[in-house]
Structure formats: structure tokens, C-alpha cells
Amino acid sequence: MKLRHLFLSGLAVITTVLSASTAFAATNTVQEVIDETYVQPEYVLGYSLTEEQKAQTLGILGYDSDKDTKVKTLTTTSYANIMNVADDSSLQLYSSVKIQKLGSKETLTVDILTPENITKVTQDMYRNAAVTLGIEHAAITVAAPIPVTGESALAGIYYSLEENGAQVSDESKSLAQEELTTLATINADNEATEGYDADKLNVALTDIKTAVAEAGSGVTEEEVRQIVEDTLSNYQLKNVLSAEHINLIINFAINLSKSSIIDSSSFKSSLASLKDSIVSNASSTFEGINLNFDASSAIESGKGFFANIWQQIVDFFKQFFS
């Protein structure tokens, strides 16, 4: 009886510890932290801004000194720690962000208030990367007082989230940054290319990420390549983008397929909301395009096709041994 009592007591302690650990982890997810912490907006300013530029940027972002108190600065050291790179004091950090929670039924929004100064990244590129980071619904505002690429603004979001207790994995940060860089590079290189459209690229990427998530961790690199190529074909981009640009997307999709991000229950629903939002804002762009295209179904069809061929081969040789 004593042994049984000790066993049950120990089991109860272990269960309590595990439950507490699970609860603690749950409250530290990216979206949980946003919902609990960002009722009041938080501002993250780039380290390279002068005092005058900081005041100017805060004004653009809508800072209210009477009620807003959460202002942080992303230093080069913080950037290096977040991105796992060497600290470089010469690094220029100008783009700044404001983050605030939204209701659970609202769609993630990104508003670039100085589009003339954010030269490489569009609103929907930020949104795609933010979904990969694990943000489901929040209001993100970006601004810069001088022309910059805008890529460091995403690092400002990482910094803010981690400072507020979110568990942002290196994997998520790396993928989100890779995605943003890939989209920004392709967009910059193709602005004057006939047939190219940034909205189509962003929607194609939501479909690619959804198909990779549906295929699961067992998907092969060749199947990921097929997902990317089929999706780009559906959005009339395969013959527009260069082989180099397509390979950038394929490499990102392969890295995504090997990550734990695709296991998130909210990942696909966030992508669906993002896709609907982009399409509704640029509906004429998608005339004649199949918006219900499912790249993952092509993989299943391919598996069935090869399975049938294999079965026919097996059946052929069976007749000689029956």
C-alpha cells in the first residue's frame, strides 16, 4: 500500500508539473503574447534614427504621449542576438514598427505609412512573413523617415515579441526572414517584367505554404518542387519568373516543409484569411485564375498514378508465377 501511495503521489506531482509547463508554454506562444500584452500599442524604433527622426517617426506611427508608454529601440546588438549574426555597429537600422492586438476574428493587417521610403517590401510581403512567424491577428504599422529596404522592420517585431515573453523559435525567425528576403528580391527584380504581379506572387505563396502544410513532414523535395511549379503555373507566373527566382521559392518551401511551423493548427487558417484579403483588395488581378487551386491534390494524383503503374507491373509478373 505504501508503495502504491508513493507511486500515485509521484504521478500526481509529475502530472502537475507537466500541466504547469504546458500552460506556461501556451501563454508564451506568439499570438497569446500579442493578445495579452499589446492592448496598448508597442513601438520599436530603429537604432540609427537621430533624436529628431525618432520624434518624426513616432509622429507618423501615431504615437500619443498622453497614453502610449511602450517604446523600444532595436540596437545593432539586439539585432545580432535576434538574427544569430555577428554584431556590426555600422549596421543601419531605420525602419520602425508599431504593433497592436486585434480581435480574434479580425485579419492580420500591415500598413506602410511611408511607402515612398520602404523601397523593397510591400504590405502583403510583411503579412506573409508574419503568418510564418506565427502571428494570426494583429495590427502592424511600418514607417521610415528616409528611403530604406524595410527588411529590418521584421527584426523589430521579433525583438518586441521576445521582450514581451513570446517564445519565437530561431526556426520561425529564419524562415520568416528568408521568406521576406525572397519575396522582396523577386519583386525588386521583376517590377518592369511583363506579366509579373506582386499580388499574384503573394497569393501563390499562401497556396504553396498551405499545400506544404497539408502534405505534412513526409513530403519529398521533389513533391515540394511540384507544388511550387504547379502553383506558379496556376497564377501565370512560372513563365514570367526566372529559374533562379523559382529556385528561391522552392528552397524556402523545402525549408518550410522540414519545420514544425506547418504543424500549427492555426497556420492554414491564417493563410486562408490572408489570401482572401489580398484577393478582395485586388480582385480584377485574379480574373480567369482558379482561386480554388489545390497543389497538394496534384501530388496525391501523382502518387495514385505511379501506384497504378506499379500495380500493373506486379500483376504482369504474377501471371508467370501463379
Domain shared by 143 and 236, yes or no: no
pLDDT score, position 190:
97
pLDDT for residue 312: 56
Final residue of a domain: which of 135, 168, 201? 168
Whether 212 maps to a domain, the answer reads yes
Residue 306 included in any domain: yes
Q: Is 266 helix (H, G, I), strand (E, B) or coil?
A: coil
Residues 194-214 as b/e (b if ≥16 CB within 10 A, e otherwise) read eebbbbbbbbbbbbbbbbbbb
Mean pLDDT of all residues in the chain? 87
Report if residue 119 sits inside a domain.
Answer: yes
Give the model confidence (pLDDT) of 39-82 as tens digits.
999 999 999 999 999 999 999 999 999 999 999 999 999 999 88
213 and 162 part of one domain: no
Mean pLDDT value across residues 171-182: 94
| Count: domains in the chain | 2
**Does the predicted model carry a pTM greater than 0.95?**
no
Asked if residue 222 has pLDDT above 50, the reply is yes
**Distant-in-sequence contacts of 218-221, Cβ < 8 A, 24+ apart:** 219/257, 219/299, 221/254
Residue 63's CB is within 10 A of a number of other CB atoms, namely 17
Residue 4 falls within a domain, yes or no? no
Centre a 10 Å sphere on the Cβ of residue 281 and count the other Cβ atoms it contains.
11
Examine the domain organization and report whether 258 and 162 are in the same domain.
Answer: no
**37 & 83 share domain:** yes
Q: Is residue 2 part of a domain?
A: no
Domain boundary among 119, 135, 168: 168
Q: Do 129 and 211 have their domain in common?
A: no
- Write out pLDDT tens, residues 155-175: 999 999 999 999 888 999 999
Under the banding of pLDDT at 50, 70 and 90, the label for residue 299 is confident
Of the candidates 120, 143, 184, the one whose C-alpha atom is nearest the C-alpha of residue 49 is: 143
Domain boundary among 114, 133, 168: 168
For residue 135, give Cα distances in angstroms to 29, 106, 139.
9, 12, 10
Q: Based on the fold, state whether residues 231 and 139 are members of the same structural domain.
A: no
Residue 248 lies in domain = 192-322
3-state secondary structure of 94: coil
pLDDT class for 301, splitting at 50, 70, 90?
Answer: low
Does residue 227 sit in the same domain as residue 305?
A: yes
Domain presence at residue 109: yes
Q: Looking at the predicted structure, is the pLDDT value of residue 310 above 60?
A: no
Indicate if the pLDDT at residue 3 is higher than 60.
Answer: no
Q: Are residues 203 and 309 both part of a single domain?
A: yes
Question: What's the pLDDT score for residue 2?
Answer: 47
Residues 239 and 318 reside in one and the same domain: yes
**Residue 191 belongs to what H/E stretch?**
none
